Amino acid sequence: MAAPRLALGIPARNATAHLPRLFESIRRQTVPFDEVLLYDDASSDGTGDMARAFGARVVRTDVNTGPSPGKNELAKVMSAEWMHFHDADEALEPEFVARARAAISEAVDVVLFDTEDRDDRTGEALGQSCWDDKALRRDAVAFCIEHTVTNCGVYRRDAFLRAGGFDTDEATKYNEDQAMHLRLALAGLRFSAAGYLGVIVYRRSGSMSSGHPIECARAQLEVVARAAAATGTTYADQVGQRLWALAGVLGGYQDWVSVKRCLELAERLRYTPASTHPAMRLIAMFSPYGAVRLREAFIRVAKPELRRGMPTVR
């Protein structure tokens, strides 16, 4: 019986500066992808032509849609049974495809690969994200609430499509990867981890994530709120912990409307933070919003360097 085929889908917009690095990492695979497709999202810099020159099949749109609709479109036109999505400004380690083939089985629908963040300018390693196979197999929904899983998996194509693929709602745009993995987990797809550092994420200023920090935090709040709506109190601890963490982040941007939304949802779940300072925990018992405001005021007085240059939303 032939091994399942594996496709690579790349959403891209004006990406000619990054595609050579990505396609070099594709060329260096010890086992090749069976298909390579690129979604040319209304580029004006020759992205599609460059991708074709590298051997990719190009799907073009003349209206800028964003990466989530693009990845869904690629999933629909692929012929391979399994697929991986990869941003144009990232790269792959040489054994990615070989390790993916070894990890694919009838017992799983999603296989996650560890990732390493690197500085786009210097190549310096900034940190790694390593996924826990046992925790993923035990409860993928809990895991995907607790962790922001990025573009690092291979997916059974038909199961991905049945689950609805990427959420194209603008409210989740800046947290699309976590939204997608949670959608797959809530649909009952079976997760595992390959235990191989296969994905290189290059961090640069002005990217979709680093250039929109407030939007990323708000989108994560939307994703977590939807998880709470779908699961009720089943994951109250995991959701509550994320909500309180987000309240702190959004407080740093002085987005107090979103802070209130975080805390009101946590209160409805009857979640009480357990890891804050005892004095703050006591204040939070009477006024969660007051506790977050007090914490933020303290940081701005005692450690102003942590907030210097941060944009604010009032």
Q: What is the pLDDT of residue 311?
A: 62
- The whole-angstrom separation of Cα 53 and Cα 205 is 28
pLDDT digits (tens, 9 = 90+) for 118-165: 999 999 999 999 999 999 999 999 999 999 998 899 999 999 999 999
Backbone angles phi, psi at 213, to 5 degrees: -65, -40
Q: Count of CB atoms within 10 A of residue 143's CB?
A: 22
| Per-residue confidence in pLDDT tens, the chain, 314 aa | 678 999 999 999 999 999 999 999 999 999 999 999 999 999 999 999 999 999 999 999 999 999 999 999 999 999 999 999 999 999 999 999 999 999 999 999 999 999 999 999 999 999 999 999 999 999 999 999 999 998 899 999 999 999 999 999 999 999 999 999 999 999 999 999 999 999 999 998 766 666 688 999 999 999 999 999 999 999 999 999 999 999 999 999 999 999 999 999 999 999 988 766 777 777 777 888 988 898 888 888 888 888 776 666 54
Strands (E), the chain: 6-12, 35-41, 57-61, 82-85, 91-92, 110-119, 125-129, 153-156, 191-203
pLDDT of residue 314: 46
| 247-286 tens-digit pLDDT | 999 999 999 999 999 999 999 999 988 766 777 777 777 8
pLDDT, residue 149, reads 94
The reported pLDDT for the residue numbered 20 is: 98
Following DSSP, what letter does each residue of 6-38 receive, concatenated? Answer: EEEEEEESS-TTTHHHHHHHHHT-SS--SEEEE
Angle at 301 between CA 264 and CA 254, to 5 degrees: 35
Structural tokens at position 34: 């069976």
DSSP string for 123-152: --EEEEE---HHHHHH-HHHHHHHS---S-
Look-up of token digits 């004095």: 279
Sorted by where each begins, the domain ranges of the chain are: 6-203, 213-306
- The CATH class that applies to domain 6-203 reads alpha beta
pTM of the model: 0.92
Residue 309: the pLDDT is 66
d(CA 223, CA 171): 8
